[in-house]
Amino acid sequence: MTARKSTGPARGSVAVLVRDGVLPMELGLVHQLFGTARDPSTGELLYDVRTCAPRPGRIRTDADFPIYAEHGLEAVAQADTVLVPASHESDETLSPGSLDTGLAQALTAMKGRVASICTGSFVLAATGLLDGRRATTHWMSSDRFARTFPQVTVDPNVLYVDEGAVLTSAGEAAGIDLCLHMIRSDHGSAVAAEVARRTVVPPHREGGQAQYIQRPVEEAGLTSTSGSRAWARERLAEPLTLADLAARDAMSIRTYNRRFREETGLTPMTWLARQRVDRARELLERTDHTVDRVAAETGLGTGTSLRQHFQAVLGVSPAAYRATFRGR
């Protein structure tokens, strides 16, 4: 699970820090996701996203085209959030204290939060920002990362890790999950879900989900658990059991469990609990329902049970969550 401690205030300025060899997809996804988040009541953009570099100007990418970074490290100092995409040509050459002095000082001096995508985590680790923290990176680089930065507790099996002011994510697609998680932390589930809809990506994958899923798409000739998942989402208020889900896809419980893990990286009941918490978040943001009614409509039982789930997953009470995000 991710270590999300609290639902903090909105963070309006985002700096994407690029270096030679940057992956264009990772740069683009940050602009696409943060750059399209809007206030649901006014339609105004919620973030100002800027591309910056240690030295402004032309930046090589790992593709056949360069990009232009208009801003320098002053954008890092002014930002509420800094995102560091990967640069495969240099990341894995980094070690503790080896980062350019100016860049290291800019990152360690900033007052906001800083996050990495893929092997951008090597940059954060080289500054010491990850010392004593949990972190993740692309699973193919995790062994080198752990050897190079022994002061960091690396978890190669998750999509992203939220340590409050410092966040890390796995490969490119996990960067999407991390960005949506950060938007959700700032502005709630409704805003993040709308960004996901605009971008046509899943609105929420928990950070603790496995990076590598054995069978993430259906294979011809094999049965899938997708039908029962869609069915369950429409019936979250009902007392669904593992046997109910397996029967829906005409599988034995043993086969269903195995297939479900292959396709989602989660157990069926863990997945179901997370769907219910997500639905509860939406109801708390969008309705005046009491906590007991929200619990009943999401299948979480009682208000006490809902409070326990929120504390375990989000680190806050339902009332605190509603107070933070209601009306945004």
Q: Which sequence positions are flagged as catalytic?
A: 118
Which residue type occupies 204? Answer: H
Q: Reduced to 3 DSSP states, what percent helix, strand and coil does the chain have, rounded to the nearest 5?
A: 45, 10, 45
- CA dihedral (14, 15, 16, 17) positive or negative: negative
CB 139 within 8 A of CB 212: yes
CB 178 within 8 A of CB 208: no
Q: Say how far apart CA 8 and CA 124 lie, in whole Å.
A: 22
Angle formed at CA 117 by CA 115 and CA 120, multiple of 5 degrees: 85
Q: What number of other Cβ atoms are within 10 A of residue 239's Cβ?
A: 8
